[in-house]
Amino acid sequence: MDQEVKEKYMKAGKIAGEARDYAAEIAKPGKKILDIVEAVESLIKAKGAEIAFPINISINDIAAHDTADKNDERVLGENDIVKIDIGTHIDGYIGDTARTVAWSEDYQELIKSTKQALEEAIKLCTPGTNLGEISSVIEKTIKEAGFKPIANLTGHGLDKFNLHAEPTIPNVSFKTSYTLQEGQAIAIEPFATTNEGAGLIKESVEKKIFMMLYDKPVRNQHARQILRIAKTRNGLPFPLRWVPSSGIGLRIGLKELLDKNILYDYPILKEIKGAPVAQSEHSIIVADKPIITTKTEKF
């Protein structure tokens, strides 16, 4: 990794970390989800970065891929456990980070287990480390804390305008010959649930986040509006909230784009048994002393 690229990863990570901490501060019971995501997205832009993906606010058994709709009236509740997942980029070089907040003591140990698993995994992000060692330590740490890792959610590599590059980093043990290389950018994100859960997620019908796969001509005016937003993203995801259209017209335009395989959708992901889920995530540059680009004094 050359110095210019490294500096961009570092700047993106710094802003992502600051945005994550700001989101955690303003996320309070009674606060609208829409107000949180709009405030955080504005902060990211004010600090000189771009949004790598819509701010994810995933509550309780929802593990990932939920964000605010336009005119979303949902508010956070006192007994909620809330995953805040944030991505920024500088010229396509990405900082991806997440933390979980809750106001009930019932969830604090679950949250702590994911943070401890993340900390232990980061220690292994050195050149030559077998990827399986990282997955094993995540699983071991979460289980020793008395919880279940989510087996079908993973960390991932980061590349220019690519949120999910190789390698895939499972949160449970597996065998592989893959080893980390000096200068790789990766995101490690342990997810955990309680022992009442299955330790697995499923896709729900609801989808709020999309990504353009191909550019093809379309007739529907609402579909064209969606594509205008999609084309500005360089292959990165976007929410319908950013599209000027609304109502049935927007849904018709969206259906045309999905039917023609122009867009890819990200289903909201839920724990199979409806159990609460916690998540912690940092972005790291692999080095003899791993570089955590999204680390702050607060997380």
Percent of the chain's residues with pLDDT above 90 = 97
Candidates 18, 50, 139, 189; catalytic one? 189
pLDDT at 152: 97
| Cross-strand bridge partners of residue 94 | 89
Question: With contact defined as beta carbons under 8 Å apart, do 169 and 156 qualify?
Answer: yes
Using pLDDT thresholds of 50, 70 and 90, give the confidence band for residue 21.
Answer: very high
pLDDT at 245: 80
- Apex 293 CA angle, 288 and 294, nearest 5: 135
* Distance between CA atoms of residues 54 and 85, nearest Å: 9
Percent of the chain's residues with pLDDT above 70 = 100
* Distance between CA atoms of residues 28 and 35, nearest Å: 11
Candidates 61, 66, 281, 282; catalytic one? 281
Q: What integer is the mean pLDDT of 241-253?
A: 89
pLDDT at 82: 98
pLDDT at 219: 87
pLDDT at 271: 98
Candidates 7, 164, 166, 203; catalytic one? 164
Q: What integer is the mean pLDDT of 192-210?
A: 96
Q: What integer is the mean pLDDT of 200-223?
A: 94
Candidates 61, 80, 85, 139; catalytic one? 85
Q: Report H helices in the chain.
A: 3-26, 33-46, 108-122, 131-144, 221-231, 247-259
In the predicted structure, residue 261 carries a pLDDT above the cut 90: yes
Amino acid present at 233: R
Identify whether 66 is a catalytic site residue: no
pLDDT for 36-66, tens place per residue?
Answer: 999 999 999 999 999 999 999 999 999 999 9
Candidates 96, 139, 256, 271; catalytic one? 96
Using pLDDT thresholds of 50, 70 and 90, give the confidence band for residue 179.
Answer: very high
Identify whether 72 is a catalytic site residue: no
pLDDT at 144: 98
* Distance between CA atoms of residues 168 and 241, nearest Å: 29
Supply the mean pLDDT for the chain: 97
Which domains can be identified in the chain, with CATH numbers? 3-203+269-292 (3.90.230.10), 206-268 (1.10.10.10)
Using pLDDT thresholds of 50, 70 and 90, give the confidence band for residue 149.
Answer: very high
Q: What integer is the mean pLDDT of 258-275?
A: 97
pLDDT at 246: 81
Candidates 65, 89, 156, 282; catalytic one? 156
Q: 74-78, 181-185, 213-217: which range is least confident on average?
A: 213-217
Identify whether 156 is a catalytic site residue: yes
In the predicted structure, residue 159 carries a pLDDT above the cut 90: yes
Identify whether 80 is a catalytic site residue: no
pTM (2 d.p.): 0.96
Query: Running DSSP on this structure, what letter comes out for residue 130?
Result: B
In the predicted structure, residue 258 carries a pLDDT above the cut 90: yes
